[in-house]
């Protein structure tokens, strides 16, 4: 069966590899643009990130809902979150890299710039939330605390924390989907 603009999503769901070729040919520019924008200056991981985006599309195509978003917006969302993951991984690797193996005289500017960029992107994504909900998300996902630690530190029951986190994630997802349907670009 020939894959075209009318059946490529169905063919992706049927695990037709030619449909993935169609996505690369017709939406590859979106993937490359988003990855290039967000991982600018980290060329060493851009190709790997693009491959992960394509794998994400392949593995998660059943979660795509045509009634909620355009395919290109869904792809851009996957790209954005994969880029954030790659920035985190890159920053973590920089922290553990042996300074004796490096042939550069860097004063930490690159790492600080990446941390600031990641921080700005996170703030942009989370600015729609109340401060308390933002703090909970940061503690759980950025600081790596577990629910028991957060509960003790904040003096909140675990159930309350789970409810707040669930509502916060839903709000971010809803706003992200609404803005993508309108063609709004997230700025730093």
Angle of the 109-126 helix axis to the 158-182 helix axis, nearest 10: 90
Domain that holds residue 141: 127-188
**78 and 115 both lie in a single domain:** yes
* Residues 64, 132 within the same domain: no
Task: Indicate if 20 and 52 belong to the same structural domain.
Answer: yes
Same domain, 118 and 33: yes
Q: The pTM is what?
A: 0.51
Structure tokens at 34: 């988003």
Do residues 104 and 145 share a domain? Answer: no
Q: Does one domain contain both 41 and 119?
A: yes
Could you tell me if 66 and 18 are in contact, meaning their C-beta atoms sit under 8 angstroms apart? no
In this structure, the answer to whether residues 117 and 136 fall within a common structural domain is: no
pLDDT in tens, 27-73: 999 898 888 888 877 777 888 889 999 999 999 999 888 888 899 89
State the CATH number of the domain containing residue 188: 1.10.10
pLDDT higher than 80, residue 120:
no
pLDDT of residue 157: 92
Domain count, the chain: 2
Confidence band (pLDDT; 50, 70, 90) for 13? Answer: very high
CATH code at 105? 1.10.1740.10
Residues with Cβ < 8 Å from 87, sequence gap 6 or more?
Answer: 38, 39, 42, 114, 117, 118
d(Cα 122, Cα 127) in Å, to the nearest integer?
A: 8
121 and 176 share a domain? Answer: no
């Amino acid at each position: 069966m020939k894959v075209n603009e009318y059946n490529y999503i169905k063919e992706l769901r049927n695990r037709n590899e030619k449909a993935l070729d169609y996505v690369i040919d017709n939406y590859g520019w979106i993937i490359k643009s988003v990855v290039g924008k967000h991982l600018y200056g980290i060329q060493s991981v851009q190709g790997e990130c693009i491959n992960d985006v394509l794998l994400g599309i392949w593995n998660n195509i059943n979660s795509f809902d045509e009634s909620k978003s355009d395919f290109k917006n869904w792809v851009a969302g996957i790209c954005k979150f994969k880029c954030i993951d790659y920035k985190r991984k890159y920053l973590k690797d920089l922290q553990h890299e042996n300074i004796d193996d490096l042939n550069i005289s860097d004063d930490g500017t690159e790492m600080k710039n990446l941390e600031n960029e990641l921080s700005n992107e996170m703030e942009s994504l989370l600015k729609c939330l109340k401060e308390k909900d933002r703090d909970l998300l940061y503690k759980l996902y950025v600081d790596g605390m577990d629910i028991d630690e957060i509960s003790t530190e904040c003096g909140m029951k675990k159930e309350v924390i789970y409810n707040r986190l669930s509502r916060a994630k839903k709000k971010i997802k809803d706003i992200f989907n609404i803005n993508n349907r309108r063609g709004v670009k997230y700025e730093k």
